[in-house]
């Protein structure tokens, strides 16, 4: 596994992370207390941690926080970086702090490394959420503040709303099929040294089955999923977080970090 600076935090994160959004049905059944395929999913996360991945993404929405908590139990907490997210209906101070406490309880930890607003709310609600997050930084419940699904203006506005902290991480969709962030968000992150977690890095699995990627991958001893991840890694600040629900996929994705593909292939992609 390779590691690089996580934006300007001073933390070193594995260049490939792990995501834990499964599917809408999974979220519904998890709310009812049924964590389908729990054992397999926890094992997948553990195999990733053993392969050197130290960056795990979850959210209060996903229902996967208890699985992450279970997976990290056998590891040193300080060696793992966890991001979780607050849902936009919980952006008011009391609600956010209660959401955060619940997330920490489910994760079985007393702090999260990155706490993100999952989707922007109104300007007023974002301001209140960011102030509450600053309180949580001061009390040690979170280390860094982040945003997800914000556009560039939203990011700039949020940074101005913060008093003592800065936005350390953005999380938005980015993959070979969806290159919008290259227009503004990623160049901004590169310039400002903000970590960018790329969600849907495999276009929800479609890129792992893409025939053109398959053709190219055969020539370079990689799999289509690995090529799709490697292509994202050409940016200093980008960290793809492919979903980790099967150990064999997690290991394959982790190995992408150690494959050298010629510049020419990245250009072709
Ligand atoms: N902030 C947000 O609003 C937001 C939104 C969506 C997602 N996310 C985060 O981003 C993460 C990734 O997004 P995603 O899970 O929706 O999409 P994804 O990672 O692009 O794709 C997941 C799909 O790819 C498959 N896959 C993974 N590795 C593979 C491999 N090596 N070969 C073949 N197939 C492979 C998975 O199958 P298996 O499960 O069978 O391995 C799953 O079907 C989420 O888990 C979540 O943490 C954030």
Express as a percent the part of the chain with pLDDT over 70: 100
Mean pLDDT score across all residues of the chain: 96
**Cα(98) to centroid of ligand 1, in Å?**
28
**Which residue owns the Cα nearest ligand 1 atom 25?**
205
* Alpha-carbon torsion angle 20, 22, 26, 27, nearest 10: 60
**Cα(21) to centroid of ligand 1, in Å?**
7
**Would the pTM count as exceeding 0.95?**
yes
Mean pLDDT within 120-134: 98
Kindly indicate the confidence band of residue 210, based on its pLDDT and cuts at 50, 70 and 90: very high
Kindly indicate the confidence band of residue 213, based on its pLDDT and cuts at 50, 70 and 90: very high
Pick the atom of ligand 1 nearest to 175's CA. 20
- Find where tokens 């350390």 sit: 168
Kindly indicate the confidence band of residue 184, based on its pLDDT and cuts at 50, 70 and 90: very high
Burial of 161 (0-12, 13-18, 19+ CB in 10 A): middle
**Cα(174) to centroid of ligand 1, in Å?**
12
* pLDDT, tens digit (0-9, with 9 covering 90-100), for 139-149: 999 999 999 99
Kindly indicate the confidence band of residue 220, based on its pLDDT and cuts at 50, 70 and 90: confident
The separation between CA 233 and the C-alpha centre of its own chain, rounded to angstroms, equals 14
Q: Is 200 in the pocket of ligand 1 (CB under 6 A)?
A: yes
Q: Is 237 in the pocket of ligand 1 (CB under 6 A)?
A: no
* pLDDT at residue number 167: 98
**Cα(215) to centroid of ligand 1, in Å?**
22
Out of 119, 199, 248, 259, mutate this one to test ligand 1's pocket (max ligand atoms within 8 Å of CB): namely 199
**Pairwise CA distance, residues 122 & 48, whole Å:** 37
Map the chain to HEC letters.
CCEEECCCCCCEEECCCEECCCCHHHHHHHHCCCCCCHHHHHHHHHHHHHCCCCEEECCCCCCCHHHHHHHHCCCCHHHCEEEEEECHHHCCHHHHHHHHHHHHHHHCCCCEEEEEECCCCCHHHHHHHHHHHHHHHHCCCEEEEEEECCCHHHHHHHHHHCCCCCEEEEEEECECCECHHHCCHHHHHHHHCCEEEEECCCHHHHHHHCHHHHHHHHHCCCCHHHHHHHHHCCCCCEEECCECCCHHHHHHHHHHCCCCCCHHHHHHC
Kindly indicate the confidence band of residue 221, based on its pLDDT and cuts at 50, 70 and 90: confident
- Residue ranges and CATH numbers for the domains of the chain are 3-257 (3.20.20.100)
Task: Using the predicted structure, report yes or no on whether residue 240 has a pLDDT greater than 90.
Answer: yes
Kindly indicate the confidence band of residue 103, based on its pLDDT and cuts at 50, 70 and 90: very high
Q: Is 19 in the pocket of ligand 1 (CB under 6 A)?
A: yes
Pick the atom of ligand 1 nearest to 20's CA. 45
* pLDDT at residue number 59: 98
Instruction: Give the other-Cβ count within 10 Å of 263's Cβ.
Output: 8
* pLDDT, tens digit (0-9, with 9 covering 90-100), for 48-61: 999 999 999 999 99
* pLDDT at residue number 36: 87
Pick the atom of ligand 1 nearest to 202's CA. 20
Pick the atom of ligand 1 nearest to 209's CA. 33
Whether residue 60 contacts residue 102, with contact meaning beta carbons closer than 8 Å, is answered with yes
Out of 18, 21, 53, 149, mutate this one to test ligand 1's pocket (max ligand atoms within 8 Å of CB): namely 21
């Amino acid at each position: 596994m390779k590691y690089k600076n996580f934006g300007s935090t001073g933390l070193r994160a594995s260049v490939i992370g792990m995501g834990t959004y499964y599917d809408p049905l999974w979220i519904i059944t998890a709310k009812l207390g049924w964590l389908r395929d729990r054992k397999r999913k926890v094992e997948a996360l553990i195999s990733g941690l053993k392969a050197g991945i130290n960056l795990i993404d979850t959210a209060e929405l996903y229902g996967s926080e208890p699985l992450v908590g279970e997976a990290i139990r056998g590891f040193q907490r300080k060696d793992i970086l966890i991001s979780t997210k607050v849902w936009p209906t919980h952006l008011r101070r009391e609600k956010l702090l209660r959401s955060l406490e619940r997330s920490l309880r489910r994760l079985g930890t007393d702090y999260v490394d990155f706490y993100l607003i999952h989707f922007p709310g109104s300007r007023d609600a974002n301001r209140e959420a960011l102030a509450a997050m600053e309180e949580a930084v001061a009390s040690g419940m979170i280390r860094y503040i982040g945003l997800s699904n914000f556009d560039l203006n939203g990011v700039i506005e949020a940074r101005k709303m913060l008093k003592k902290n800065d936005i350390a991480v953005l999380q938005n969709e980015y993959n070979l099929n969806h290159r919008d962030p290259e227009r503004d968000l990623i160049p901004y992150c590169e310039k400002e040294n903000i970590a960018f977690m790329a969600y849907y890095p495999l276009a929800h699995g479609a890129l792992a089955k893409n025939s053109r990627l398959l053709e190219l991958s055969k020539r370079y001893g990689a799999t289509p999923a690995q090529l799709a991840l490697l292509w994202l890694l050409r940016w200093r600040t980008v960290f793809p977080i492919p979903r980790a629900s099967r150990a064999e996929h997690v290991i394959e994705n982790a190995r992408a970090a150690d494959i050298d593909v010629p510049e020419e292939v990245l250009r072709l992609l």
